[in-house]
Amino acid sequence: MTDAIFNRGTFRTLWHSRVFDTLFFHQPKGEPRKPAIIFVSSGAEPVIVTREELTDRAGRVAHALHTLEVRPAGNHKGKPVVLIAHTQGLESIYAFWACILLNAVPAMLPTLTEKLDPDHYRRNLAEVARNAQARAVLTTDEFAPFLREALPCDVFSSAQIAGAETGQNGADWHAGLRLMARVGGDIGYLGETDNVLYPDPDTVALLQHSSGTTGLQKGVALSHTALLNQLCAYGGALGLREDDVIASWLPLYHDMGLIAGFLLPLVLGVPLVLMSPFDWVAHPALLLRAIHDYRATFCWLPNFAYNHTAQRVRERDSARLDLSSVRAFVNCSEPVRAASHQMFLDRFAPNGIRADQLAVSYAMAENTFAVTQTPIGQAAPIETVDREALQSRLIAEPVPPDHPRALAQVSCGKPIPGSAVKVVDDAGAELPERQIGELMVKSDYMLTGYYHRPDLQPFDADGWYRTGDRGYLANGEAFVVGRSKDLLIIAGKNVYPQDIEALLYELDGIHPGRAVAVGVLDDREGTELLAVLAELDTDDAEAKRALQVAVRQHIARSSEVTVSYVTFVPRGWLIKTSSGKAARAANRDKWLAERENKGS
C-alpha cells in the first residue's frame, strides 16, 4: 500500500514545498508533467492540464492582472480582493491561482444562470463587491458589459485578460514575480527560493461566500494558516495517498467544492478530475464515467446527489462502469439520509459500490471545511432513535430499527485533528451526550472573521463558533438533525423541515429536490402550522388531487405531524440558494405574498 502523503507536518513546510516550491517554482523531477487537472465534459474530449501548464497559465494571468493594476498596495490592508464570476471551467481556475501568485484575495462566486433573475443577481453581486471593497470582478465577455453598469469596481472580461497576457511566457512571468517580491513591502516575506514572495501566513488567503438569498453578502475570511492547517489535518484524517485521484462536479464557489474538490488535491499533489456542475446535473452519468476512466478514489457529494444519481442515471449508461476504485464517497453539506445511502447502494451495487465506501463529513465554510469525518473504509454508523423523544424531549433515545417511532440518524464521525465539537442549550450551558442542542465548534482553521463585517461576531466569549446547527454527540461522534433557524415548533413538537421533505420524496409524483416544508405562524392556534410547497412531475388534475391526500396521510403516518397546507406550484417556482439548497424562508415569504394578493 502506498504511504499517506503525510502523517505530521507544519504549516510552513507544507506551504513552501507543496504550494510554491512544488506547484509553482522548483518542481521535482517528473512532477511538472504530472496531471494537475483533467477537465471532462459531455460530448467532448477531456482536457489534461499538467502542473507545469497550470503554473504557466496562472502566471500569465497574474501578469495580466498586474498590468491592469490589480496589485497589492504595499501593506496588509492593501491586498486586493478579486471576485471571480465565471462559468466554472479552466479559465476561473487559472484566475484563482493567479490571485494567489499575485498576493491578491480571490473569491469564487456563482455565475448568472437561466434560473436566476438577472437584475437581482447583479444587485446582489454589487453588494458583495461593496462589502468586500473589491478591486475587480473577472467574468465572461458576454456578461462584462451587463455588470459594468452596476458594479462599484472594475470589471474585466476574458478578452481584456487575454490582451494583457500578450507576449508573456514562462520566463517573463517568473521574472515578474521576483520583481513583485522586491516591491511588495510588508504584504509578505521573502522566501529562500529565488527571492520569491511568500504570503504572510496571518493575512487573508481567500474569501468564501456562504450560500443563501442574502448570504453572499457575508464573506468568510480565511488566512493562509487556517487554510493550510485544514488541508494538513483533513488530508491526514483521510489518509490521502499519492496514488489517490479525486473526482468532482461541485461548484467552486461552495466550500465543499473549493476545499475538498479543488484545493485539497492541487495543494497535496493529487490529480483532480473536474467537470461543470451544470453538465453533471444534466448528465449525472458523467461523474460515474470519470470515476471509471481515471480510477478515482475520493468523491464528495451533498445528500441530494445520491438520490439524483440513483434516479437519473439510465441503466444503459452505467452497465459497464466499474466504481470499485473509490475509497470513499463522502456525504457532506446537508443533513445525511440513511435512505439516500441505501438507494445509491442498491442502484450501483452491480457497479462495485459497497457500504464501506459510504462515508460522511460535517463541514462548514467558517471552519475552512471539515469538522468531522467518519473512518475511511468503514460504512458510516447509523443508529435509530425514538422520533417522539427527539421532537418533544430533545433526547436521542436509541430504539430498535423495527420500533414504530424509529428514526434513522447517520453519524458524521468524530472531530478531525485540531477540531473540537460540543453541544449547548439555549443558555450556552454544555449538554451531556444524546441531548439535542446547538453544535459549537473550535479549531485550528477557523475563519478570521466575516470580511469587513465587524457587526457579525460568530464566536462566544471562549472562542467557540456558533454553528446554528442542531444535533447531539454519542460516543464522541456528531449527529446533525437540522438547523436552528429552520426548526419548526408545531404543537410543542420540534420538527425539522428536512425530515418532512425527505418524506415527500418518498411519494411518486413529487419532483426530486423541488419541495420545501415551512412553518406559518397562526395567531389563532398559537403555534406554527406546517405548510408544504412542491413541484410535481405531472399536470394531470386527478393525479394532483390524489397526491394532495397522499401527502397529508403519509406525513401524518410517518411523523405524527399534521400538514395544514399542501400547495403544488409550477415548475421553476421554488427559490433555491446559489448552492442548490432549498431557500425555505424565501419560499415561505413568496407563498404568503401570493396568498395575500389572492385574498386567501
CA-CA distance, 133 to 337, in Å (whole number)?
Answer: 40
Range 28-51 burial, b when 16+ CB lie within 10 A, else e: eeeebeebbbbbbbeeeebeebbb
Angstrom CA distances, 88 to 39, 84, 262, 283, 286, stand at 11, 10, 12, 16, 16
Give the CA count within 13 Å in the CB-facing half-sphere of 166: 5
Range 456-485 burial, b when 16+ CB lie within 10 A, else e: eebbeeeebbbbebbbbbbeebbbbbbbee
Considering the chain, what is the average pLDDT of its residues? 85
> What's the pLDDT band for 458 if we cut at 50, 70, 90?
confident
Tell me the whole-structure pTM to 2 decimals.
Answer: 0.81
User: Phi, psi at residue 416, to the nearest 5°?
Assistant: -75, 165
**Mean pLDDT for the stretch of residues 325-333:** 95
Crossing angle of helices 90-102 and 51-67, in 10° steps, is 70
According to CATH, the superfamily of the domain at 260-483 is ANL, N-terminal domain (3.40.50.12780)
Quick: pLDDT tens for 341-377.
999 999 999 999 999 999 999 999 999 999 999 999 9
Q: 450 has which bridge partners?
A: 220
For cell 454544555, name the residue: 430
Q: Give pLDDT, residue 296.
A: 98
Closest residue by Cα to residue 154 from 144, 163, 143: 144
Quick: pLDDT tens for 242-263.
899 999 999 998 899 999 999 9
Q: Which three cell numbers stand for residue 318?
A: 452505467
Crossing angle of helices 338-348 and 303-312, in 10° steps, is 30
Closest residue by Cα to residue 397 from 497, 479, 467, 496: 479
Q: Give pLDDT, residue 242.
A: 86
Residues of the chain with CATH 3.40.50.12780: 11-200, 260-483
CA-CA distance, 39 to 87, in Å (whole number)?
Answer: 14
Q: Give pLDDT, residue 63.
A: 87
**Mean pLDDT for the stretch of residues 118-143:** 90
Q: What is the DSSP string of 460-520?
A: -TTS-EEEEEEEEEETTEEEEEEETTT-EEETTEEE-HHHHHHHHTTSTTEEEEEEEEEEE
**Mean pLDDT for the stretch of residues 560-584:** 84
Ordered strands of the 477-483 beta sheet: 419-424, 437-443, 465-474, 477-483
CA-CA distance, 185 to 266, in Å (whole number)?
Answer: 28
Q: Give pLDDT, residue 491.
A: 65
Q: Please state which of the four CATH numbers 3.60.9.10, 1.10.10.10, 2.60.120.200, 3.40.50.12780 is assigned to the domain occupying 11-200.
A: 3.40.50.12780
Q: Give pLDDT, residue 526.
A: 57
User: Phi, psi at residue 405, to the nearest 5°?
Assistant: -110, 20
Q: Give pLDDT, residue 523.
A: 59
CA-CA distance, 282 to 442, in Å (whole number)?
Answer: 39
Q: Say if residue 145's pLDDT is above 70.
A: yes
**Mean pLDDT for the stretch of residues 197-218:** 69
Of residues 396 and 538, more confidently modeled:
396
Q: Give pLDDT, residue 101.
A: 83
DSSP helix/strand/coil, 77: helix
Angstrom CA distances, 483 to 312, 339, 437, 486, 497, stand at 29, 20, 10, 5, 9
Q: Say if residue 200's pLDDT is above 60.
A: yes
User: Phi, psi at residue 5, to the nearest 5°?
Assistant: -60, -40
Q: What is the CATH number of domain 488-597?
A: 3.30.300.30
Give the Cα-Cα-Cα angle 448, 449, 452 (nearest 5 degrees): 125
Q: Give pLDDT, residue 579.
A: 62
Q: Which three cell numbers stand for residue 426?
A: 439555549
Closest residue by Cα to residue 380 from 359, 361, 407: 359
Q: Give pLDDT, residue 268.
A: 85
Residues of the chain with CATH 3.30.300.30: 488-597
Asked if 385 and 196 count as a contact pair (C-beta separation under 8 A), the reply is: no
Closest residue by Cα to residue 316 from 288, 282, 344, 293: 288
Alpha-carbon dihedral sign for residues 494, 422, 466, 223 = negative
Q: What is the DSSP string of 373-409?
A: EPPTTSPPPEEEEEHHIIIII-B--B--TTSTTEEEE
CA 363 to chain centre: 9
Flag the least confident range among 147-156, 213-222, 565-574: 213-222
**Mean pLDDT for the stretch of residues 440-462:** 91
**Mean pLDDT for the stretch of residues 447-459:** 89
Of residues 216 and 163, more confidently modeled:
163
Q: What is the DSSP string of 519-532?
A: EEEETTTTEEEEEE
Q: Following CA atoms 55, 61, 64, 69 in sequence, which dihedral angle do they give, to the nearest 10 degrees?
A: -100
Q: Please list the alpha-helical segments (H only) found in 149-189.
A: 158-165, 170-183
Angstrom CA distances, 359 to 50, 363, 451, stand at 30, 13, 32
**Mean pLDDT for the stretch of residues 223-236:** 90
Q: Give pLDDT, residue 14.
A: 46
**Mean pLDDT for the stretch of residues 69-95:** 81
